[in-house]
Amino acid sequence: MSATSPTAVPARPFRERIGPDPRSGHYAAPRRYRLHVSPSDPGCLLVAVTHGLLDLGEALPLTVLPALPDTPDGGYTVLRPLYEAAAHRFTGPAAAPVLSDGWTGRIVSAHAPDILEDLVLRFAGDRGDALHPPAARAESRAVAALCELGVHEAAQHAGELGLGGDAVHRAPLNTLLGALDALERRLTGQEYVLGGDTPSLADVRVWVTLLYLDTVHRWHLDADAVHRIAAHPSLWSYARRLAAHPAFGTHLDVAAIAARHHARCRGREAAGAAMPIVQWPVRPPLPPSRPATTTLNTPA
C-alpha cells in the first residue's frame, strides 16, 4: 500500500495563463502579480532577463531567491505558502520560477515557458512585439528548439557518455557542434540572432544556453571537445557582448550557477573543466530579496 495520503495533491506544474482581458480571470493588471526567480536556474534566468529587457519592474515586481534551494526536495521554504494556497496538501517541491497573484495569494504558473510567453504577450504591450516580432516567431521557435535539443540535450548526453571514440559516443558531440556551427553562421556579420539592432527573445535563449554550456556542461566534457566548442569566435564574442548588457548582466552570477550545479550533480568531471571559454564578468550579484507578505486584495 502506498504511504501517500489519498487526499494529498501530487507534484505537478501550475499552468494557468494570463488572458487578454478581465473575462479571462487572470489578466495583466499593474502590480497584481509578482515573479519569484532564482537566476542560478536556467529557466528562471530566461524569465529574469526577459523581465529586464521588457522593463517590467514597476508593473510586475520581481523577487530574487537564493541560488540554492533550502529544502531537500529542491524547493524554497518561502514559496511553500503559495504552493499550499494553490493546492491543499501539495507534496512536490516549492520550486521557482513562480508567477503569483497578489489578489488571491495563489500561484498562476510555475512553468517557465508559459511565464516567458505571458511576459511578452500580456504584460509588455508594444514592447513585447519589439522583443518577439510576430513575423519572426516561427524562426524564434526554431532557434529555441536548436538551443534545447542541439545544444543543451546534446551537451548533456555528450558528458554522460564520456565522449569515447566510437560512433555512439561521438554522435552527441557532432550534434552539439552542428548546432553551434548554425548559430555561428547566423552571428557572422550581424549583432543579433534574428538580425536587427536590438536583442530579441531568441537572443535571450541563445545567451542563456551558451552561458550554461560554458559554466555547467563544460565540467563534463574533455579538453578536445571544449577546444572544438570554443572554435566559434562570433558566437562567443556575442556571448561576452551580451553579458555587458544591463538586462543580461544584472542577473549573471557564475559562482551561484556553479554552486547550484555542484550541489546537484554527481557526474564525473573531465579535463575540459580546467578553463572557461568566456571570462564572464564577476560582479556583486543582486542580493536575494525578501518576498512580500501576501495580502488578499479585491480589485477595484
Tell me the per-residue pLDDT of 200-252, one tens digit each, with 9 for 90 and over.
999 999 999 999 999 999 988 888 899 999 999 999 999 999 999 999 999 99
> In degrees rounded to 5, what are phi and psi of residue 208?
-65, -40
pLDDT category of residue 22 using cuts at 50, 70 and 90: confident
pLDDT in tens, 91-108: 899 999 999 999 999 999
Q: Answer yes or no: is 8 within a domain.
A: no
pLDDT at 4 over 70: no
The pLDDT, as a whole number, for residue 220 is 87
The pLDDT, as a whole number, for residue 12 is 53
% of the chain beyond a pLDDT of 70:
84
Q: Answer yes or no: is 147 within a domain.
A: yes
pLDDT category of residue 274 using cuts at 50, 70 and 90: low
> Kind and range of the H or E element at 45?
helix 42-53
The pLDDT, as a whole number, for residue 198 is 95
For residues 73 and 264, the answer to whether their CB atoms sit within 8 Å is no
Q: pTM of this prediction?
A: 0.88
Q: Answer yes or no: is 295 within a domain.
A: no
Domain that holds residue 199: 134-274
The total domain count for the chain is 2
Q: Answer yes or no: is 289 within a domain.
A: no
Distance (Å, rounded) from C-alpha 220 to C-alpha 212?
12
Q: Answer yes or no: is 195 within a domain.
A: yes
Single-letter amino acid code for the residue at 218: R
CATH code assigned at 253: 1.20.1050.10
Segment among 121-125, 133-137, 186-190, 275-279 with least mean pLDDT: 275-279
Q: Answer yes or no: is 284 within a domain.
A: no
Residue 32 backbone class (left: φ over 0; alpha: ψ -120 to 50; beta: rest): alpha
pLDDT category of residue 289 using cuts at 50, 70 and 90: low
At what angle are helices 233-243 and 201-215 packed, to 10 degrees? 100
- The answer to whether residues 113 and 225 belong to one domain is no
CATH code assigned at 103: 3.40.30.10
- The answer to whether residues 115 and 212 belong to one domain is no
Q: Which residue has the cell 486584495?
A: 297
pLDDT at 265 over 80: no
Comparison of pLDDT for 163 and 192, the residue scoring more: 192
Distance (Å, rounded) from C-alpha 243 to C-alpha 249?
5
The pLDDT, as a whole number, for residue 287 is 59
% of the chain beyond a pLDDT of 90:
70
